[in-house]
Chains A and B, each alone.
Chain A
Amino acid sequence: MSKVEVFRQHHFEDVEQQHEASWLGMWVFLATEVMFFGGMFACYFVYRHWYLQAFAAASNHLDVLLGGINTAVLICSSFTMALAVHSAETNKRNALIIFLGLTVVLGTVFLGIKFFEYHSKFVEHLVPGSAFAFPGPFERPAEIFFSFYFAMTGMHAVHMIIGIGLLTALIVQARRGRFSAFYHTPVELTGLYWHFVDIVWIFLFPLLYLLGRHV
């Protein structure tokens, strides 16, 4: 039995078929994810169209600097993720572990900054609910804006947390020497997922933080 055959599950003809199946499965899953976030994006666009002024006003209460830093952090994490996949392909085990670790660190930094932002919104009474207060004529629609802000970034954060969990599991497996140039499908697939979560943020950041500022 060749080195690759060890990883073949009984119901596949060969490793290549198994790899292609996993790959396609991940893409189909991401299609589901696009529709999942798409529902929220659709709602966001409807309300932005209705309450343009209010969304602009509310958007100015978000911290562009922190959002910008977070965007940079996430893009860097996608880069380290890509390097991790590359290290796996080129059979560099230590580099793989280091880059996976860096991706986890960057993801955690993102979540830390996000938590800090959430906290300051809480202090400023910008969390929807009975304590919500927004100066000016747009209190109700601004509450809708912040409902979307928390629902969308919250759902994104949940995906980040799942991603960090997956990366941590990969690090454990990589330390045991499970991945090689012959077999590293889990690293590739987690990479795909991580890039997807990153792209969601690339859409969220301008929609929530930037688009309203010049209306």
Chain B
Amino acid sequence: MNIPDIERREHYLNINYGIRSWLFTTDHKRIAWLYLLSVTLFFFIGGIFATLIRLELLTPQGDLVQSETYNKLFTMHGVTMIFFFLIPSIPAVLGNFLVPMMIGARDLAFPRLNLASWYIFILGGAFTLMAAAAGGVDTGWTFYTPYSSIYSNTHVVLTVVGIFITGFSSILTGLNFIVTIHKMRAPGMTWFRLPLFIWAHYATSIIFILGTPVIAITLLLVGLERIFRLGIFDPALGGDPVLFQHLFWFYSHPAVYIMVLPAMGVVSELIACFSRKRIFGYSIVAFASLGIAVIGFLVWGHHMFVSGQSVHAGMVFSFLSMVVAIPSAIKVFNWTATLYKGSISYDAPMLYALGFIGLFTIGGLTGLFLATLGIDVHVHDTYFVIAHFHYIMVGGSVMGYLGGIHFWWPKMTGRRYPESWARLAALIIFIGFHLTFFPQFILGYIGMPRRYHVYPPEFQVLNVMSTAGASILAVGYLLPLTYLIWSLRYGAVAGRNPWGARGLEWQTPSPPPTENFERTPIVTEGAYAYEKDPEEIYPLGKPAHV
């Protein structure tokens, strides 16, 4: 092993040491690590709640926990996973690390704001964990009023404050990305030479900026209603609980696209790299991201087909929900077309990318079932819905996240992970995932409602399958945790560009220097010129400092 080479050269990891050099860093690459550690922590906390849920559902009786505890478990699972893992995962970890590197910048536009957003995230997380430690919250992650604002006796305010605070971390990250992508691109990096990862993060940032403030104000009103007994969402005081649902889903549906768009960006990079081809229909895929972000703001009513929303509104929302499937489908078709006659290799990141395409397709198509008014009435609030959104969020976002972590791990650490273990883990996750969630489609279709901890005995077989799958899935998630940590010390030295990728981030040493590039690069080609030699695409630029 050629250890001295990495150790000798100065890069962002060894430029200085000590806890202060990390907690007060303004380097986007180090902040990405801070996020990586924190979202991993939240992922496993959310995973513990999920484990308890699946264990309880092994038997039809409520023998592990009582119904009150069960309500808290699924609420804390949802809150932790959505607000503290899925939403920040790809943007705050991979986005933070890669956005400046992919466009040839030395950092994000506002490095101190970037660090502040991590502290805000941690503060919000602390409030939510405090709520969990103090006894939890039982409203469901949706906080529907008037239960959340009047009747629940659990720690709604603490949790809501935590989510409110965390929202600002998303907003600041989105703001930073938008400004960076607009103003910090290297010479020659035109909009249509940007990697699709950047387009996806640009679209995600738009949702961060325009959606998150609405959930902030909504949760603030719920908190005020609970503390001061304002009557905005309380029917007893003349308020309208359905209005809460409108406001909540105005953010929380686009939030689904916050979770999946960055994963789509990752998959575009992986598919192109491992089929050694330009992505098929680049500009269509880029605009599909923006299309999803825009149309995604107009579909929230499909969560409310049975909430007393008018039938006409329901029809419009149903139609628009079908429309938003089009850009998503375009992406799937374009990835598939990229594979066609490509020179495909099945390294671990590619396995995750292919897994993403399959699982996202199932998740997306079942989303169309749910967007259909009549079918939604039948399967509303059943396990069908649970299975659908887990196919999108776990099958889509988490697969994309893991694929991205593996792909850029050599760049982040300078070391390679053990390839065969990684392939095995990807396979275990794929199998465990299907075994966990596919039975839930059937459970939901034959009538098992969500959010109950007791169920009729005839549902047991499918529930046992699901719990068995969850244990396989848990093994699949613990494997990367283990071998990635192992590789930090023992992994093979990666070198500048282990995948032979054409993106700008691969043209600098691994790990990169603090300023990212030895010289400001000059870009003459898009990020997917796999038919060309990298030296030809990136002639040496002018020196970074004049």
Interfacial chain A residues near B375, Cβ < 8 Å: none
Contact of A28 among B209, B212, B221 (CB under 8 A): B209
- Bitwise, A145-162 to B at CB < 8 A (1) or not (0) is 001101100010000000
The contact size tier of chain A is 35 or more
The interface-forming segment of B65-73, B84-92, B226-234 is: B226-234
Q: Which residues of B contact A28 (CB under 8 A)?
A: 174-175, 178-179, 209
B188 at the interface (CB under 8 A from A): no
Q: Chain A contacts of B212 at CB under 8 A?
A: 32
**Size band of the B side of the interface?**
35 or more
Q: Are A24 and B238 in contact (CB under 8 A)?
A: no
A135 is an interface residue with CB less than 8 A from chain B = no
Q: Are B243 and A43 in contact (CB under 8 A)?
A: yes
Given A21-B183, A28-B178, A144-B232, 13 more contacts at CB 8 Å? Answer: A17-B184, A24-B179, A25-B110, A25-B176, A32-B171, A38-B213, A38-B214, A43-B232, A47-B232, A141-B238, A144-B230, A144-B231, A150-B230
B residues 205-253 touching A (CB-CB < 8 Å) = 209-214, 216-218, 220-221, 224, 228-232, 237-240, 243, 247, 250
Determine if B210 and A11 form an interchain contact, defined as CB atoms under 8 angstroms apart. Answer: no
Give A7 to B232 CA distance when docked, in angstroms.
48
* Interface contact B240-A46, CB-CB below 8 Å: yes
Interface core residue of B108, B175, B221, B230 (most chain A CB under 10 Å)? B230
30 pairs, A vs B, C-beta closer than 8 Å: A10-B106, A11-B107, A11-B108, A20-B183, A21-B180, A21-B183, A24-B179, A25-B175, A25-B176, A28-B175, A28-B178, A29-B175, A32-B212, A35-B213, A36-B214, A36-B217, A39-B247, A46-B240, A47-B240, A50-B240, A51-B238, A128-B228, A128-B230, A130-B229, A140-B238, A144-B232, A147-B224, A147-B231, A147-B232, A151-B221
Interface residue? A137 (CB, 8 A)? no
Across the interface, name the chain B residue whose C-beta is closest to A19.
B183
* B residues neighboring A (CB under 8 Å): 105-111, 171, 174-176, 178-180, 182-184, 209-214, 216-218, 220-221, 224, 228-232, 237-240, 243, 247, 250, 515, 520
Whether B237 lies near A140 (C-beta < 8 A) is yes
- Number of A-B pairs, beta carbon distance below 8 Å: 113
A144 to B243, CA, bound (A): 13
Q: Does A124 contact B (CB under 8 A)?
A: no
- Closest chain A residue to B230, Cβ basis: A147
Contact with B along A26-57 (1 / 0, CB 8 A): 00110111011111101100110011000000
